[in-house]
Structure 1
């Protein structure tokens, strides 16, 4: 990108896709998701003026096992509508138990968390949309679910939108991680940072430390060593930063480094962590590795883990590569 040049997401996708049909399909899906995200961002920005959207919907949790808010459903509906004219065959969503048929002639499957961090809707904290894109061939896959139930290394693109002071798209197409920001004057997403690199070393970690009593020994040991500071075995002082909305925590890491930790613990329903592999951990891990960071469940590279359920949960550590490797060494 030349100095002073403003590259729109549309132009970037056109240049990236060229005349390749497979890339063109991916570009169409990303355009649709980003367009849906603009509408979702507008609803989020209305805050208490749309108070009904922050209310819990019914008494049953969503397919992912979390309380479902009205805006979760609205976000999913907007994404489905946006994807209908694109080459996306099926959508896997946190809000739905089974795959959602989209376009019978599609050549992609998309996995999405329509509104990550929705528990923060009514507190004016950044929330977002996370997506993962995988190739789909009806002749090669026994079922659409087979196309989704593959290790994350098979992703062809991934990203997230963060709805905060700025509406931001962090995206990868398998060759670097890039940041686009919506220009509110024109409405277009503009390329703000190309080929982001997460610093390998860090003095910052993000974790919900109130759960320390529930953690296993390796995670307790790591945090205790961080808290010991310069006088401890790590030989340096650490800062803790925790928003509780993964897209907000992730964007901080892509901006200045750090690590994010959501381990499994001893509480009921938390043994395997709380984040979903297919539509949360996999896309974030893909973005992180493309930004020269690392992502693991403590023992295994996230992108090598074979899913056994669409809504499978998993422990997640991602961010600055050297620090992720240090955390893994505790296990």
Structure 2
């Protein structure tokens, strides 16, 4: 069996990236242990405060954030660390060569009902070595990422990782404590009959997205000529994991529910790392029109609409939006 350490040594010559991934995945073991204990570890329920996004924080949101922040800030390779939960980035080691962004606990509303949650991370190069990092240093397009991935905490703890253009999946062996390679060079089928969306927001979507979902619901009797299935985990990590395993489409589109927000998902902490995974596995990732990885960010908490997954289905959504824009 190939361990994560062996895989990194075989696929990457960037020691800083390898050791930073090791730091993140070690913290992941602790988070997984806390989740297994659940109420016994007093991690369920609200923390009693909101994060920078205006969302109520769960107890484990705060704990996972602190664990990752402390570990990464102690890593000499990290010049700065940014969390979805905090207003600003945290400077670390000025001589470090990397910047790390993370969502400590994606899908945290699932914690109290014992369903899938995860940690998402993105690693960027640091361009101003020798100087203290600031928020502006993180504002790099997703195509600049050196590595990205997620930890999925479920019936088993899984790691999906992209480094050196490949996507690999690992499972945490509870006996040895090693992440063990279970699949590499993952590729997503270009076509799919499975989609994931929060349909309760239908009335807030733009016309082309409404048309797209209407066509899927019409199934075999409609213009698509085949039936589709809906799957929705309420955690991006879970939905993206399913796509990497068996294909599909995930979307959290633009809506007018909150007019001041361009989308629900954060570009730097969610959309970019997941898009890198999906694209390197042969899929597509757009904001419905534009490639997500080419978006030049203007804020570390910037939000974007997201459409990602099986390549042909993502292209179909894009075509619908372009057709409506041309009218």
Bin for the TM-score computed over the shorter chain: over 0.9
Aligned counterparts, 1:299-310, within 5 A: 299-310=289-300
Cα distance per residue 1:132-155 (max 9 Å; x no partner):
000003259995433310110000
Change (3 A) 1:246 1:24: same
Q: Decide whether the 8 Å contact of 1:204 with 1:258 is kept in 2.
A: yes
Deviation at 1:270, TM superposition (A): 6.9
* Structure 1 unmatched runs, 5+: 1-5
1:44 aligns with 2:44: no
1:234 aligns with 2:188: no
Change (3 A) 1:8 1:99: same
TM-score of the superposed pair, with normalisation by structure 2: 0.94
CA RMSD of aligned residues (A): 1.6
1:65 aligns with 2:54: yes
Distance 1:27 1:42 in 2: 23
1:313 aligns with 2:290: no
Distance 2:216 2:110 in 1: 28
Q: Decide whether the 8 Å contact of 1:141 with 1:147 is kept in 2.
A: no
1:268 aligns with 2:263: no
Q: Decide whether the 8 Å contact of 1:197 with 1:291 is kept in 2.
A: yes
Q: Decide whether the 8 Å contact of 2:122 with 2:273 is kept in 1.
A: yes
Deviation at 1:251, TM superposition (A): 0.5
Aligned counterparts, 1:41-190, within 5 A: 41-50=32-41, 52-59=42-49, 61-83=50-72, 84-138=74-128, 144-190=134-180
2:101 aligned counterpart, secondary structure: strand
Q: Decide whether the 8 Å contact of 2:188 with 2:244 is kept in 1.
A: yes
1:80 aligned counterpart, secondary structure: helix
Distance 2:211 2:22 in 1: 44
1:54 aligned counterpart, secondary structure: coil
Hey, what does 1:220 align to over in structure 2? 210
Distance 1:308 1:57 in 2: 30
TM-score of the superposed pair, with normalisation by structure 1: 0.93
1:106 aligned counterpart, secondary structure: coil
Q: Say which is worse superposed, 100-109 or 196-205, in terms of deviation.
A: 100-109
Deviation at 1:330, TM superposition (A): 1.2
Q: Decide whether the 8 Å contact of 1:212 with 1:220 is kept in 2.
A: yes
Cα distance per residue 1:18-56 (max 9 Å; x no partner):
4xxxx1000011000000001001111112223x42322
- The counterpart of 1:296, out of the listed 267, 286, 298, is 286
Figure out how many residues of one structure are paired with residues of the other and give that number. 320
2:48 aligned counterpart, secondary structure: coil
